[in-house]
Structure 1
Amino acid sequence: MRLGDVEEVRENLYVVYGRRELGDWKQMYQVWYSEREGRWYCTCFTSAFGFRRRKEICTHIAAVMLYRRYRRALQRLEDRRVYVAEADVECGGRLEANGELHARPLTPRGGVDLTFFISPRYRVVVISDTRRIAIRCGGRVYEAEGEEVPMAVARVLVERLYE
């Protein structure tokens, strides 16, 4: 809930924007980690209510911990290796693949005519965990050899498909 309220200033120093509905009295709180003492601190500890929580974890520190964990998980996901295949496929039915399928209709150079609706062509990008990628349409199967790339590169290829 507070992931959008956390902003990293530098290593081990964060700003957490306050929310009235969560009981925050200030617009922003600073949260930092003390290497020497091995614990987290928050500026809310200096308030009248904060002295009681000093030995515990406030919601601001919890938000920073969640933010750091979420960011690490995203980084691992982006660094993960996947296989990507691009193809032009003619399909009058429903496209399916053994991975994450992204398709864009290819319009003919002369414009759309009746044959486009009978057998439409698609530019397809598939992101998969396996090297051998199968794209199915009706009874036909198109097979392609996937190229191993980081997930971040695969996302860029998908964005380029929709440009």
Structure 2
Amino acid sequence: MVTPAGSLARRGNVAERPRWKQWFDEGLLERLYAFYTEIAPTLCPTPPVIIKTDGVTPDTVLAQVAGLLFDAGLTEAAGRLTTATAPARRPELDARFAATYEALGGLESFGHPFSEAIAHRGGIVQLCQLGALHRDASGHTGLWDLLAEPERGAA
């Protein structure tokens, strides 16, 4: 978790698109922060882990997560955690998703891509800031809905 002021500062304090302005409303961010830090832990049988990230490095957060995994007996998973270096540039939208991306609202609806196209169950997926697109093996492209995939239980 990051404080509302920290979240706004990390994102430049200005919404890039009109629709994104809701996520730059400090009052909304304060209510979400209060919900996740004060209310949600009391609602859950197993309270969520909250790691405050204001003023800490990614390595510090990773060390905290590794410690929690280790404490939970997941030593192998704790040992595999690594930090990733941010890409030098933002990934481009894969051309196979361009028509669907635009038809469904483009940048306004999806935000910028933050992954390259990733192979997934015989198709491909591309993750964006506000959603994800999926192209199945037959070439049908649309919103990624993992629950709608017939082989959802497959490994």
- TM normalised by structure 2 equals 0.19
Q: Which has the higher helix share?
A: 2
Higher RCO (CA-CA < 8 Å; seq separation 6+)? 1
More strand by share: 1
TM-score w.r.t. length of structure 1: 0.19
